């Protein structure tokens, strides 16, 4: 798999871990709404709604709900879908690659088969260092790590 996305420590955040879940199950967790709803948000947050149109230009919609009941919708689209290997998605564009006017990040999630385990890598790409800093302050490291723990718990 060609590494077309280069990590920039000034603008990007990354979570990488070897997890005890086979690639097929990790892929299913990321691509099937019934699974996404169970792990995507760190508890006590929840994913209230999710839509997946798994193709380049296809919709990736999530609605996160806080413990207080406040909802945070995010619409985006997939840029790349490489089954069992990589997903690239963004909120900078919606379905059909239409600009949203409200970009925050592009997500790059890679899955490397390690037998009954997966080398999991999730990157959040940002336009500038300030946006990356704000994302980290919002809880990127702890939140994405907790969500990954929930994925392992669900699919392991």
Work out the pLDDT band at 102, boundaries 50, 70, 90: confident
Residue 22 lies in domain: 12-155
Work out the pLDDT band at 4, boundaries 50, 70, 90: confident
**Contacts (Cβ under 8 Å, ≥6 apart) of 87:** 30, 31, 78, 80, 81, 107, 108, 109
Q: Residue 150's domain is classified under what CATH number?
A: 3.30.530.20
Residue 130 has pLDDT above 80, yes or no: yes
Number of domains in the chain: 1
Work out the pLDDT band at 5, boundaries 50, 70, 90: confident
pLDDT for the residue 2? 54
In a domain, 82, yes or no: yes
Tell me the CA distances in angstroms from 148 to 8, 36, 132, 151, one per residue in order.
Answer: 22, 11, 20, 5
In a domain, 110, yes or no: yes
In a domain, 102, yes or no: yes
Q: Half-sphere exposure of residue 143, counting CA atoms within 13 Å on the CB side?
A: 15
Work out the pLDDT band at 3, boundaries 50, 70, 90: confident
Global confidence as pTM: 0.94
Other C-beta atoms within 10 Å of 60: how many? 24
In a domain, 143, yes or no: yes
In a domain, 59, yes or no: yes
- Token code pair at residue 119: 């080398």
Each residue of 25-83: pLDDT tens digit?
999 999 999 999 999 999 999 999 999 999 999 999 999 999 999 999 999 999 999 99
What value does the mean pLDDT take over residues 138-150?
A: 96
Cα 155 from Cα 28, distance rounded (Å): 9
What value does the mean pLDDT take over residues 95-100?
A: 94
Q: Which of 81, 6, 17 is nearest to 90 (CA)?
A: 81
In a domain, 89, yes or no: yes
What value does the mean pLDDT take over residues 128-141?
A: 95
In a domain, 7, yes or no: no
Give first-to-last CA distance, the chain, whole Å: 25
What value does the mean pLDDT take over residues 100-107?
A: 92
In a domain, 128, yes or no: yes
Q: Write the DSSP string, 68-132.
A: TS-EEEEEEEEEEEETTTEEEEESSB-GGG-B-S----EEEEEEEEETTEEEEEEEEE-SSHHHH
């Amino acid at each position: 798999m060609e590494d077309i996305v280069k990590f920039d420590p000034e603008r990007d955040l990354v979570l990488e871990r070897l997890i005890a879940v086979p690639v097929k199950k990790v892929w299913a967790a990321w691509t099937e709404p019934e699974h996404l709803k169970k792990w995507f948000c760190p508890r006590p947050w929840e994913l209230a709604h999710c839509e997946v149109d798994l193709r380049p230009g296809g919709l990736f919609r999530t609605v996160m709900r806080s413990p207080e009941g406040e909802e945070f919708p995010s619409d985006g689209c997939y840029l790349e879908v490489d089954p069992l290997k990589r997903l690239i998605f963004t909120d900078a564009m919606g379905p059909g690659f239409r600009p949203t006017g409200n970009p925050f990040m592009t997500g790059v999630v890679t899955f490397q088969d390690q037998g009954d385990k997966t080398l999991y890598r999730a990157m959040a790409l940002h336009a500038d260092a300030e946006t990356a800093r704000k994302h980290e302050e919002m809880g990127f490291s702890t939140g994405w790590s907790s969500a990954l723990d929930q994925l392992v718990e669900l699919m392991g």
